[in-house]
Amino acid sequence: MPANNPGPIAVRRQMKRREFLKHVGRGGVGATVLVVGAGRARVSAQTSSPYPDWIPASTKPPKRGGVLTRASAWDPPLLDPRLTQSVGLFQFAGLTSNRLVRYAFPDEASGTSDLSLKGDLAESWQSSSDHRVWTFKLRQGVKWHNVPPINGRELVAADVKYCYEAYAKEGVQAFTFREIEGMETPDRYTLRVHLQTPNVLFPQNVAESVTVIFPREVLEEDGDLKKRLVGTGPYILKEHTRKVRVVLTRNPDYYDKGRPYVDEYVILSTPDDATRVAAFRTGQSDIVWRASLADVEAIRKTNPAAVVQEYKNVLTPFGLALAQDKPPFNDLRVRRAISIAIDRQKQVDTLFEGHGFLGWGVPYIYYQDQPPTAAQLGPWWQYRPAEAKKLLAEAGHPNGFETTIFYYEYFPQMTSQVQLVQQDLKRNLNINVKITKLDYTTYYGRYVESKWDGMAWGFQSGHAVGLDERTYMYMHSQSTKNFFRVNDPVIDELSTKLRQTPDRAEQRVITRKIVDREFDQVLRMWMPYDNGFLVFQPYVRNAAALAIRRTDGYGSPTIARVWLDK
């Protein structure tokens, strides 16, 4: 995604051509061996890293003051949370603004996968017995930033109501908030939300990083929120100069007294990856993301005291999307044949230097404790070219067919990934795939319109943490976010049932069933993806990233708990 791409989670380093060829060479040898032994299930090999995937909170008493700086790839296109879900905006909107509910911060969480909900603007919340009515009790004494036009007035329930109505009215969050049938504010600090259908996961939806509460005054005065970002959060937006910097200054009236600790958070627009690394090396940036272990080691040569957290992804944002509502992809045998004709492990070994994983769409932490092994992904995720050929012949395509794929290159390896898929399909199934590489806007326009034929290199949005978002919103046949064009009555039924199931253990069982069904029917053909590393300056405390909440991205609210030990 360009510097301000509103898209899937990670930004990667560029793999050098020589390095790539070396890996592909290795992969080629490996592939030969594996073709000979095809049919045996392989486990996903991940290179072990010497760095921890979790950094517990500091036990020292926090220090106040200092400036935290980060060279960032992303630049906010505009400040209106109704109009964009760009990580460029939400790398700091979660600091200027609050949500009703939030996920645990690193200094409260038991580990990266801790998804417990905490009150943000709401102190408590409860649902009616049928889970159609949710009542949120707001904190008293929360003040908007002391800047015009609100000038520090108190936030009340009517503000939240106004904001949710505005989200439902137009913009990128409309689908989520149209679930609301109506809202009442029985008193200044109580918001009662009536949903059209029961949803036990509704609090998760309003805990998403993008559901920030904005003031009615700005929208009414300006007609939009493109220029002013005012909230109730720990930081006040002091400066936003596009393509230069965002400066956030500590909000002295923040409801969580004593926090935040850092006086100023400066985000420097730095589109070039090498420059971001150089900025970290020279102390101009306190946090940097690296996609490979080799990159981390290179940084540690000049900055041996740097603190590294291995960031293990719990889902993959990219996969092969098929026009499964049309022939030939509406035939399950064709989808299965394609899936088992693709050597995913080769992609992991070559493109992701062994540090990747095979790929799944629903975060595994919602249905099991450990990342799925290759075997757990089921038979249609194993590389079995002979079986694939047979299945395709049974489906009436013994000689393969012609098809197309379009994609946008989110990171350099993606082009190689698409080409490897093309090679696998040609070699194993005689499917000729014509590749079209598109620019960002053309790709989005075509992909989300969902009228394309053939195949697309599909994605799911990177911001969502919640289970409802990752299942019902992305897979239900009636959802506007169902980009993979899933139309499966079992998935519809299960994802709806999930919304009506309050028990966590039962939720895990249903989620497991959804995932099994997805894998069995090859509804979304996930492709390998890799893990990465967050590198911090040694004096940065409590900045660990949590699952699906990277500190330097949608997990930005974490910065409210960061302090500088210097």
Partner 1 sequence: MHKYIIRRLLLAVPVLLLSSLIVFGLMRVMPGDALTALMAESGNVGERELQKLRKDLGLDRRYHEQYLIWLWQMVTFNPGDSIFTNEPIPVALKKSIPVTLELATLALILGLVIAVPIGVLSATRQDTPSDYTGRVVAVSGLSLPDFWLGTLVITFAAIWFHWIPPIGYVSFWESPWRNLQQFLLPAAVLGFRLSAATMRMTRSTVLEVLREDYVRTAWAKGLEGRIVVYKHALKNALIPVVTIVGGQLGTLLAGTVVVETIFALPGMGRLTVEAILFRDYPVVQTNVMLVAATLVTLNLLVDLSYAWLDPRIRYR
* Residues at the site binding partner 1, with contacts judged by CB under 8 A: 2-4, 6-7, 71, 77-78, 83-85, 170-176, 224, 226-227, 241-245, 266, 268-272, 274-275, 277-279, 281-285, 302, 439-442, 444-446, 448, 461, 479-483
Residues sharing a CB contact under 8 Å with residue 18, sequence separation 6 or more, in sequence order: none
- Contact, 47 vs 294, CB < 8 A? no
Q: Which is nearer to partner 1, 391 or 467 (CB)?
A: 467
Output the smallest distance, CB 278 to partner 1, in A. 4
CB 296, min distance to partner 1, A: 15
Nearer to partner 1, 84 or 97 (CB): 84
Distance between CA 331 and CA 192 in Å, rounded? Answer: 46
| Of residues 46 and 404, the one with the C-beta less far from partner 1 | 404
2 or 111: CB nearest partner 1? 2
Q: Which is nearer to partner 1, 93 or 431 (CB)?
A: 93
Shortest Cβ 69–partner 1 spacing (Å): 9
Q: Could you tell me how many helices (H) and strands (E) the chain has, helices first?
A: 18, 22
Q: What single string gives the DSSP state of each residue in 214-260?
A: --HHHHHHHSSSSS----SSSEEEEEEETTTEEEEEE-TT-SSTT--
Choose between 82 and 344: whose C-beta lies nearer to partner 1.
Answer: 82
Task: In whole angstroms, give the CA distance from residue 145 to residue 115.
Answer: 29
- In the complex, least distance from residue 22 CB atom to partner 1, rounded to whole angstroms: 20
Cβ-contact 439, 356 below 8 angstroms: no
Q: How far is the CB of 438 from partner 1 (least distance, A)?
A: 8
In the complex, minimum distance from the CB of residue 282 to partner 1, in angstroms, rounded to a whole number: 5
CA 352 to chain centre: 19
Instruction: Please report which helix (H) or strand (E) contains residue 297, including its range.
Output: helix 293-302
3-state secondary structure labels for all residues of 423-439: HHHHHHHCCEEEEEEEC
Helices (H), 385-521: 385-394, 412-429, 440-449, 467-468, 474-475, 489-498, 504-521
Give min distance, CB of 556 to partner 1, in A: 18
Residue 295 or residue 343: which is nearer to partner 1 going by CB? 295
Q: Are 262 and 67 in contact (CB under 8 A)?
A: yes
How far apart are the C-alpha atoms of 246 and 76, rounded to whole Å? 9
Q: Which is nearer to partner 1, 189 or 202 (CB)?
A: 202
Instruction: Decide: residue 54, CB within 10 A, 0-12 exposed, 13-18 middle, 19+ buried.
Output: middle
Give the integer Cα–Cα distance in Å for 501 and 65: 45
Q: How far is the CB of 84 from partner 1 (least distance, A)?
A: 6
Q: Is the peptide bond before 328 cis (omega within 30 degrees of 0)?
A: yes
Provide, rounded to whole angstroms, the least separation between the CB of residue 78 and partner 1: 5
What is the closest distance, in whole angstroms, from the C-beta atom of residue 465 to partner 1 in the complex?
15
- Among the listed residues 423, 424, 345, the one whose alpha carbon sits nearest the alpha carbon of residue 43: 345
Nearer to partner 1, 87 or 322 (CB): 87
Tokens 């600091």, located at residue: 95
Q: At closest approach, how far in Å is the CB of 277 from partner 1? A: 7
Gap between the Cα atoms of 506 and 154, Å rounded: 40
401 or 440, CB closer to partner 1?
440
Distance separating alpha carbons of residues 110 and 284, to the nearest angstrom: 31
Return the number of the residue (181 or 439) whose C-beta is nearest partner 1. 439
